[in-house]
Each structure stands twice: as C-alpha cells, then as structure tokens.
Chain A
Amino acid sequence: GAVVSQHPSRVICKSGTSVKIECRSLDFQATTMFWYRQFPKQSLMLMATSNEGSKATYEQGVEKDKFLINHASLTLSTLTVTSAHPEDSSFYICSARGGGRGNTIYFGEGSWLTVV
C-alpha cells in the first residue's frame, strides 16, 4: 500500500488565492521530503528539498516566497502556493525519504492544481 499520501488529489482555486497541499508519510518518519512540479507531457522538476525542522532548500529559479514549504514534523510536509496564477496550474508531487527505509524514496500520488 501507499506509504506517502498527498492531499488533495485535485484542487481548483481562484487566481490570487493561496492553496495548501499536504504530504504525509504514513508508516515511517520522513527526515527529508521533496517537492516536484510536472507540466503535461514533461518530466518532474525538483522545486525544493525540506528537512524536518529546518528551512527548505529551493532549486534555482523557484520562488521561495511563492511556494512556501513547511516540514514541521517527521510525517508531514506542506506546500502552499501563494497568490496563485493560472501559470501555476500543474501537477505537484511530493516524495519522502526516511530512517529505517534506507535510500528508498517513496512518492505520493500527486496533486493536480488548477488555477482559474
């Protein structure tokens, strides 16, 4: 079964509003979580890496003030898209790596964000 859960799986929001996506590790403590975005028919682009209890490390070109990442506990990371615009519409996927699971990285099912 799934070991990483993402919620919501689909969300529609109005332009200018903020939306939060949650990523939970279900049966292990995720010391590191990763957030990716994926446009249709393209690959996954890493947005940021977050370690529990510390600030996320953002990839070049990713606006940290627009994509707020919080990894406050060992089982939960959140991505908040602030002041969303239609161009932020995308598929967002999280993944998690944690103690006891070696180097295996588990992926969530992804969240479709549509900004109208």
Chain B
Amino acid sequence: SQQGEEDPQALSIQEGENATMNCSYKTSINNLQWYRQNSGRGLVHLILIRSNEREKHSGRLRVTLDTSKKSSSLLITASRAADTASYFCATDGLGAQKLVFGQGTRLTINP
C-alpha cells in the first residue's frame, strides 16, 4: 500500500524558475528520501533526511521535513531542462525495512 500522497501530481514551469513538490505520509518514519526517475528508467537517489532533521541541502536541492504534519517538501532552485522527470518521496517506517513510495510529481521544465 502506498504511504502517502504528493502534490502537485504534475508541475510545468519555465527554465530558471524554482520548483516545489510536497509529500505527505501517514505513519511515523525513520527517514524520508527523495528520488528522481526519468521516463522508463530506474530511480536516482537525491537526498535522505532523517526524522530528527528539519532541513537539508544538496546543491540546488532543498528538502524540509515536518514530522508534526507528516510532510516534506522538495525545492529545486534555478531549474534546468534536464530536471524534467518524475520525483518521488519514499519513507521507511519505524521497525520496517521497506521503502514505501508516494504517488510522485511529474515535473516538466520548459526551455
């Protein structure tokens, strides 16, 4: 079963703009991770944020985590055409060893 939802389901912006995607989950977690998937390809791990962290940066990526609201956001700054992909959040719950994925956001960057 899916852990939660992401919104928006699809996002289309102009190159250079910032893109924000949100993820909500249902149960307590150890970690939350964000992945990127190009069409028809495997997953690329972007960033992991632990349950005791509130914000994390990696290059043009900024991830926040609010455990009280059971939500996370992924911000991609200064977007590029190559950022066009689907983005998924994934959580592993307390005592669980498996990753459960959100529904994903399809991001399109228009040149």
A interface, CB within 8 angstroms of B: 6, 32, 34, 36, 41-46, 49, 59-60, 91, 93, 95, 97, 103-110, 112
Contact = CB atoms under 8 A, between A and B. Distances in A.
B106 A41 contact: yes
Nearest to A41: B106
B101 interface: yes
A48 to B, nearest CB: 9
A106 B2 CA distance: 19
Contacts of B106: 41
B2 A110 contact: no
B98 interface: yes
Contacts of B97: 32, 49, 97
B53 to A, nearest CB: 14
Interface of B: 1-2, 30-31, 33, 35, 40-43, 45, 48, 88, 92, 97-104, 106
Contacts of A36: 101
Nearest to B88: A43
Contacts, number: 54
A34 B88 contact: no
A60 B1 contact: yes
B2 A43 contact: yes
Contact of A43 (B31, B33, B48, B104): B104
Contacts of B102: 43
Contacts of B48: 103-104
B88 A109 contact: no
A4 B80 CA distance: 28
B101 A44 contact: yes
A2 to B, nearest CB: 9
Contacts of A91: 40
Given A34-B98, A49-B97, A59-B1, A44 B88 contact: yes
